[in-house]
Amino acid sequence: MAEITYRQALRDTLREALLSDESVFLMGEEIGIFEGSYKITAGLLKEFGPKRIVDTPICENGFVGMAIGAAMLGLRPIVEIMTINFIALAMDEIVNHAAKIYYMFGGQCSVPLVIRTPGGGGQQLAATHSQSLEVWFAHVPGLKVVAPSTPADAKGMLRTAIRDNNPVIFLEHLALYNSKGEVPNGDYMVPFGQAKVTKEGTDVTVISYSRMATIALDVAYRMEQEHHLSVEVVDLRSLRPLDTQTIATSLKKTNRAVFFEEGWRSFGVGAEIAATLQEEAFDFLDAPIKRVASVEVPLPYSKPLERAALAGAEQLMEAINELAPRHRR
């Protein structure tokens, strides 16, 4: 296995898809000559040309609509939205068309479309460029929504997304692009709807996804070393479809759970997980399910204020300590 960055894992997978399938092409703002805002598409225009690497105008509703049409006619477009904050401009195309065409056409026409987009805070990009809006899309039947946290999962899940005949929202966190990890060799794929236990434990389960899953794993090892607590970590990886069996099985083992997300607490992914666990594993709960999320304000530009608003390791540690068996009376 080679150790590569999250960014390289994505680029390698896009190049591999372009080489292996002539129906695959990329679309997005500045992905060609400029090589993408985050350099995911570096070198691809030179190698594949402007018919396969399409620089688009600053018009998300226009080029997402064009991609849907291309997918309906047999191509496999991969769209890059510069940041998830701009995806609001294409909500009609994604929610009212991409998600519903297969159903409304009685299965006669599929939409094999991948929409890649980065999001999340911590980069001092202020309120309109630092949001976690994935719950919007996880709410919509007809869409698949995934959020890998490691280079290995980024590569395996992007392969799965490209070969899927349904529209996939592929979420990337800005802070993960430079992270490194071992990536298996060969043409492996990571199936959607399968969460992963990244650390076994017996005292508390922490459930998360994307960048927060990597922070949760670091916290779990820290709690083990500093507080002698055995923390199990579950990385959802996929928000729709959602693997409820793995999280329920973990809760039945530890009897306590914390959901850790960067998004806002109200109506968030954590609310869905808490409701699911209450329905499927209520008898195994020894304490209320806790949710750790960011402060519900537009994210400030100021670095100290941004840090104060975002959920982080300290808040997660506090929640784990409150739930830990040794604190129960």
Catalytic residue among 29, 35, 60, 134: 60
CATH number where 92 lies: 3.40.50.970
Same domain, 104 and 144: yes
Query: Which string of b and e fits 80-95 if b means at least 16 CB within 10 Å?
Result: bbbbbbebeebeebbb
End-to-end CA distance of the chain: give it in Å, rounded: 47
Same domain, 150 and 25: yes
Give the residue from 183, 208, 243 where a domain finishes.
Answer: 183
pLDDT tens digits, 152-210: 999 999 999 999 999 999 999 999 999 999 999 989 999 999 999 999 999 999 999 99
Whether 173 is a known active-site residue: answer no
- The encoded tokens of residue 205 equal 């389960």
pLDDT tens digits, 71-84: 999 999 999 999 99
For 232-265, the DSSP string reads EEEE--EEES--HHHHHHHHHHHS-EEEEEEEES
Q: What is the arithmetic mean of pLDDT over 97-125? A: 96
Contact present, 99 and 140 (Cβ < 8 Å): yes
Same domain, 150 and 7: yes
Same domain, 214 and 284: yes
Contact present, 218 and 234 (Cβ < 8 Å): no
pLDDT tens digits, 234-287: 999 999 999 999 999 999 999 999 999 999 999 999 999 999 999 999 999 999
Give the residue from 183, 218, 247 where a domain finishes.
Answer: 183
pLDDT of residue 325: 76
Q: Is residue 319 part of a domain?
A: yes
Same domain, 144 and 200: no
Place of tokens 């509703």: 61
CA angle (269, 270, 271) in 5-degree steps: 90
Same domain, 203 and 290: yes
Which domain, by its residues, includes 90?
2-183
* Residue 6 to residue 151: CA distance in whole angstroms: 4
Averaged pLDDT score across all residues of the chain: 96
For 190-208, the DSSP string reads --TT--EEEE--SSEEEEE
pLDDT of residue 149: 98
Same domain, 61 and 142: yes
Same domain, 207 and 294: yes
Overall number of domains in the chain: 2
Q: Is residue 190 part of a domain?
A: no
Same domain, 143 and 169: yes
Same domain, 105 and 254: no
Q: Is residue 189 part of a domain?
A: no
Whether pLDDT at 228 is above 80: yes
Same domain, 205 and 226: yes
Q: What is the arithmetic mean of pLDDT over 82-103? A: 97
6-20 vs 151-163: helix crossing angle, rounded to 10: 30
Give the residue from 183, 210, 231 where a domain finishes.
Answer: 183
Q: Is residue 119 part of a domain?
A: yes
Whether 129 is a known active-site residue: answer yes
Catalytic residue among 35, 80, 97, 129: 129
Same domain, 154 and 291: no
